[in-house]
Amino acid sequence: MSNLFMPKFENSKLGMTDNSYSTSLPGSSESISRRDILKSLAMGVLAGSVLRVIPAQAAEYAHHLVQAEKASAGGAYAPKFFSPQQYKTLQALCQAIIPPDNHSGGAIEAAAPEFIDLLTSENSDYQLKLGGGLMWLDSTCNDRYGKNYLECTPEQQKQILDLIAYRKNAKADPSISQGVEFFSFLRNLTADGYFTSAIGIKDLQYIGNKYMKDFPGCPVLPEA
């Protein structure tokens, strides 16, 4: 997996009725709601950086929730918070952050936009940061290029993303501070959505939860 704007780095039982969702954590008989799960994810993202504190079980349930909706709707997903136009922009941004390559799928294939939309639908802070950020992006593109982000040429899109991808640019031009904060937050969410998905876990080559009779030690690294 390679990307342009960030560094390289058991099935569960689901119950769904419209927007409702409940399940039980492994080893517990306590039922938790869809809202509880999504709020626990949101708290994890707000509390720390990518992948370090996000509840893995809750992330798995969120991905299963997306998969279940797609399975019941012929592969389609209906955004819970974003407007259709905003959701298309979100998809384009997630794809720019983690595009597919010859090794693995990207953010779209990992359902990162759906993951982000689900979390945002239950968190007012996310709604302000992401909804406001998307509005800022389109407004800034209109000021610079006379059209919304999605209508810009690939080169124009890259120019604006290169501008808001680095905090140092906001020091030189405080007018883009909101854009820089928005894109930084979106990068973290995209990475969380990607690396907690089946595609992202495979890309990490994670082999956890596997019994080993003995530990042979770390493999010998090839000489550079």
205 pLDDT higher than 80 = no
Mean pLDDT, rounded, for 209-221: 73
Which pLDDT does position 204 carry in this prediction?
A: 75
Quickly state the pLDDT bin for 207 (edges 50, 70, 90). Answer: low
pTM: 0.73
Q: Domain ranges in the chain? A: 15-204
Return the HEC string of the chain. CCCCCCCCCCCCCCEEECCEEEEECCCCCCEEEHHHHHHHHHHHHHHCCCCCCCCHHHHHHHHHHHHHHHHHCCCCCCCCCCCHHHHHHHHHHHHHHCCCCCCCCCCCCCCHHHHHHHHHHCCHHHHHHHHHHHHHHHHHHHHHHCCCHHHCCHHHHHHHHHHHCCHHHHHHCHHHHHHHHHHHHHHHHHHHHHHCCHHHHHHHCCCCCCCCCCCCCCCCCCCC
79-109 pLDDT, tens digit per residue, is: 999 999 999 999 999 999 999 988 889 999 9
> How far is 14 from 57, CA to CA, in rounded Å?
13
Mean pLDDT, residues 111-130 = 91
Look at residue 64 in the predicted model and tell me its pLDDT: 86
What is the predicted pLDDT for the residue at 54?
56
Q: 110, 108, 45, 116: which is closest to 80 by C-alpha?
A: 116
Residue 214's pLDDT band, with cuts at 50, 70 and 90, is confident
